[in-house]
Amino acid sequence: MTKEMTQEEDRLAQQRRGARTTALIVGGVALAIFLFTIFTNLEY
């Protein structure tokens, strides 16, 4: 493996991690909005 190759692999691995983190944050926000909608109305 050349040095360049490892850099490229590194970039891809970082990209994958980034994608997963983004997905978790965004998914978490969606879940929070869902729960908020229901629980703010729970007094009824």
Partner 1 sequence: MATTTSDIQDEIDAHGHGAHDDHHHGPAKGLMRWVKTTNHKDIGTLYLWFAFTMLLVGGAMAMVIRAELFQPGLQFVEPQFFNQMTTLHGLIMVFGAIMPAFVGLANWQIPLMIGAKDMALPRMNNWSFWILPFAGSMLLSTLFMEGGGPAFGWTFYAPLSTTFAPASTDFFIFAVHMLGFSSIMGAINVIATIMNMRAPDMKLMDMPLFVWTWLITAFLLIAAMPVLAGAVTMMLTDRNFGTSFFDAAGGGDPVMFQHIFWFFGHPEVYIMILPAFGIVSQIIPTFARKPLFGYSSMVYATASIALLSFVVWAHHMFLTGMPIAGQMYFMYATIMISVPTGVKVFNWVTTMWRGSLTFETPMKWAVAFVILFTIGGFSGLMLGVAPVDIQYHDTYFVVAHFHYVLVSGALFSIIAAVFYWLPKWCGRMYNEKLATIHFWWAIISVNILFFPQHFLGLAGMPRRIPDYSTQFADFNMISSIGGFAFGASFLLLTYIIVTAIRSGEKIEEDRVWESAKGLEWTVATPAPYHTFDEPPKKAQILSESSHIGEH
| Contact between 7 and partner 1 per CB under 8 A | no
Question: What are the helix and strand counts (H, E) for the chain?
Answer: 1, 0
| Contact between 2 and partner 1 per CB under 8 A | no
| Amino acid letter, residue 14 | Q
Indicate which single residue of 2, 3, 5, 37 sits in contact with partner 1 (rule: CB under 8 A).
37
The tokens describing 14, both together, are 């970082």
Closest separation between CB of residue 2 and partner 1, Å? Answer: 15
User: How many Å apart are CA 6 and CA 12, to the nearest integer?
Assistant: 10
Residues in the site for partner 1, rule: CB under 8 A? 11, 15, 18-20, 22-23, 26-27, 29-31, 33-38, 41, 44
